Amino acid sequence: MSGNSEYCDYRSPLATRYASKEMRYNFSDQQKFSTWRKLWIYLAKAEMELGLDITQEQVSEMEAHVYDIDFEAAAKEEKATRHDVMAHVHVFGNQCPKAAPIIHLGATSCYVGDNTDLIILRQGFDIILPKLANVLNRLAKFAMEYRDLPTLGFTHLQPAQLTTVGKRATLWLHDLLMDERALRRARDDLKFRGVKGTTGTQASFLQLFNGDGEKVKQLDRLVTQMAGFQKHYSVTGQTYSRKVDVECLNVLSSLGSTVHKICSDIRLLANMKEVEEPFESTQIGSSAMPYKRNPMRSERCCSIARHLMSLTNNALQTAATQWMERTLDDSANRRITLSEAFLSADVILMTLQNITEGLVVYPKVIERHIAQELPFMTAENIIMAMVKAGGDRQICHEKIRVLSQEAGAQVKQHGKDNDLVERIKSDPYFAPILNQLKELLDPKTFVGRAPEQVVEFLEEEVYPVLENYKGQLGGTVELSI
């Protein structure tokens, strides 16, 4: 093996290329193992408060060494003991000789492992939710700005009745609002595993307190409060139920599906040159075709969102295969799955915020596309106008049908522009309504209540949610390559 040793090990692109510094830290070894130490301190303080022979001097000694972790020493211990928790107990005890006898007193490995996971999951949601709010905020501004700009609607990816650019953005917003609600609910539903012992019966703590069950219950409550949780799970095995992980990954994967849909829409609109994501002045779209402006950010979102959506099945499989009070085949799997889910969600939200901050709309292109399709869509309006002017509906319908077929042939067979309006103007039959044609063909008369719907939706549903994130909105996102 040769070359720079820094680049000779596999490094996850989620950590090195995409995710934010705060999310990377949340799943770092420093965060994990310093949280273990905090949990040992909470346990010791609560046990001391409830009368066990633990001194403030021992607690203070532990508090002085929360963050100065000797990772090399811990790795050597783990290699010898094949047990990560006991390795860190020994290293922490070496740093805190007075406290060594009471570190991890009465606890099992999952006391630090599972409780730390729950803290990290909650902090992960705390990182993600304001980022989602920033996307909501930016898209709300976009929807309001373009609330009355007509554009072709599409069903079956075929041109359909007109909508507006802003109204389409509310469809994106609507799904993101559902994600915000689900993410917030999952975050608030998280409880603490607490102090439960080896199989969840609290037997070891009952021994420590000489059979005093009330003190064991108080210990559970005290440690839960010290860790910043309001509630703990009433019953657990050795671990908290892995259904909790399923609930967390379900909402993250659902967010992935929303972002994938939004960015797929943007990619389709970019293909039609109606909408374009930010494109930097020095950015290269293609190594072979210098003129290209590829929707690379949206493509990144779709790519990582697909990975995110796949992770739910992993959590389901893990929850389904937990035997009795616990089995260890969840451990290695969860180390990968939980972190990747949050890192992936973090990436796609940052990227989507960057996209929505610089989304460019091209009204003239949109207008040209409308002009190609709108004449066909106005047929019923023209028929009704002719009927009001004294014409026969069936005769008018047949006239429009024939002219529409001829115009359609011009578009499909000869690649020419839609000339239905010119054909109508040239037909003497339609002379009674020629002075109304401009009004009948005004795109704004075909968007229904779309502009009003945008305003109502923002005021009634989006702005109240954004109120919950006052002080957390603003700023721009700079993406890595």
Positions annotated as catalytic residues are 156, 286
Instruction: Return d(Cα 191, Cα 188) in angstroms, integer.
Output: 8
| Residue 479 DSSP label | P
Give every CB contact of residue 16 below 8 A, 6+ residues apart in sequence. none
Give every CB contact of residue 310 below 8 A, 6+ residues apart in sequence. 253
Q: Token digits for 79?
A: 């290699």
Instruction: Return d(Cα 170, Cα 176) in angstroms, integer.
Output: 10
Instruction: Return d(Cα 104, Cα 208) in angstroms, integer.
Output: 12
SS3 percent helix, strand, coil of the chain, rounded to 5, is 70, 5, 30
List own/partner pairs for 15-22 with CB under 8 A and 24 or more apart. Answer: 15/343, 17/480, 17/481, 18/300, 18/304, 18/343, 18/347, 18/480, 19/343, 19/346, 19/347, 20/127, 20/346, 20/350, 22/127
Neighbouring CB atoms inside 10 A of 268's CB total: 15
In a 10 Å sphere around its CB, with 0-12 CB exposed, 13-18 middle and 19+ buried, how is residue 102 labelled? buried
256 in Cβ contact with 305 (< 8 Å): yes
Q: What angle do CA 169, 172, 175 make, to 5 degrees?
A: 150
